[in-house]
Amino acid sequence: MALSSPDAPCSCDCFVSVPPASAIPAVIFAKNSDRPRDEVQEVVFVPAGTHTPGSRLQCTYIEVEQVSETHAVILSRPSWLWGAEMGANEHGVCIGNEAVWTKEPVGEGEALLGMDLLRLALERSSSAREALRVITGLLERYGQGGSCREDPSPFCYHNTFLLADRAEAWVLETAGKLWAAQRIQEGARNISNQLSIGTDISAQHAELQAHARAQGWWSGQGPFDFAQVFSLTQQPVRMEAAKARFQAGRELLQQQQGAITAEVMMGILRNKESGICMDSGGFRTTASMVSILPQDPTQPCVHFLTATPDPSRSVFKPFIFGVGVAQAPQVLSPTFGAQDPVRTLPRFKTQVDRRHSLYRGHQAALRLMESEQDLGQQLQQKQQDLEQEGLEAAQRLLAGKWTPTPQELGGLFQAFVERESQAYA
């Protein structure tokens, strides 16, 4: 029996700011990934690729048909699975996903995880709108399903997505194979583990309304409100908590309308009072990401990733796609091949240590922060200084005051990861 109840702790928060809500002419994207507290998230760079026609691609549980060309991507992902919780591609498309439960039952069969759909969309799209088409097409063909945690007792859910590019953003909310989407052309928007699209639907599954009528969820009279029609009548405790986080996130964005920057988004992701920076009931924020997507296509997009839990005590490090980009080994988890508990059936009967070297160093640093006040404060100051340096480098780059070589840009994230590792050593 799959545990598909939203009473099980699971939460995430995604945010986007589209001008004029942003302080600069850029779309700004942000996400906190809230997952089982000991789950390790790695940051993986996958270069662009060409593939043999008709070849198959192994995702977390199932295979899908591969496409002839895939884009370069940077992914923040739970290290046991194929997909990702959040990421970006070389064309400035960013996506984050969230768990959601609706009146549509959550299937127990293995299909594509929402995290697989996210990575597939990044690899196959050059705009947010195209990413929406990729996800909905794959959803129609393969469906979504399978356990979303590395545990013998399955934990399943459907997904909502926030998709952004240099020009606009889209919210995509699913219920099984059905879906509704909302286009965001200006202003700020957030999503938090619940359906949030009401009557303002920009695109939808062809059978969405007919299905709702057939199930007796909608009379067919008056405007069709997706969230109202498809949300569970009895909202479980966890969903109520998500509602409070959604409201808090919306208010934090509204307070900064017209002044939203990458730093503002980082501050929101670090907000513990609202539960957005979370640590409760066996779950916590395991990784975070903020991206600047300039409207000017000649300017590079800058993606800041932590690769470590608890953004209030982590460093957002800048990543920019460029000629010299390579995988930073310190944020890559060990692999276990055919012996991996996710590959052997029945799945997840054993446990392996997936911690990468930055995660280990960060764990030791957190222990110091909690046990030795002076040393802990020094470490936190080092973190803040390093992050500030990355933010200033991004500002100089976007203001045209710094013109690094493509190799320098490509090696930026690696350089910051190395310096953070040294601070913990």
Question: So which residues are the catalytic ones?
Answer: 12
3-state secondary structure of 273: coil
3-state secondary structure of 326: coil
Amino acid in position 18: V
Dist. CA 353–CA 335, nearest whole Å: 10
Tallying the residues shown for the chain, one arrives at: 425
* Pick from 289, 310, 192, 284: nearest CA to 246: 192
Contact 95, 131 (CB under 8 A): yes
Q: Residue 341: exposed, middle, or buried by beta-carbon count in 10 A (0-12, 13-18, 19+)?
A: middle
Bridge partners, 13 (sequence order):
32
Dist. CA 268–CA 262, nearest whole Å: 10
Q: Residue 406: exposed, middle, or buried by beta-carbon count in 10 A (0-12, 13-18, 19+)?
A: middle
DSSP for 217-244? S--S-S---HHHHHS-SS--HHHHHHHH
Two tokens at 15?
A: 């945010």
DSSP 405: -
Cα–Cα separations (whole angstroms), residue 270 to 360, 364, 365: 21, 20, 18
Contact 58, 82 (CB under 8 A): yes
* Rounded to 5°, angle at Cα 57 from 54 and 60: 160
Amino acid in position 35: R
* Pick from 242, 153, 125: nearest CA to 195: 242
Residue carrying structure tokens 């990401």: 289
Two tokens at 182?
A: 């909302």
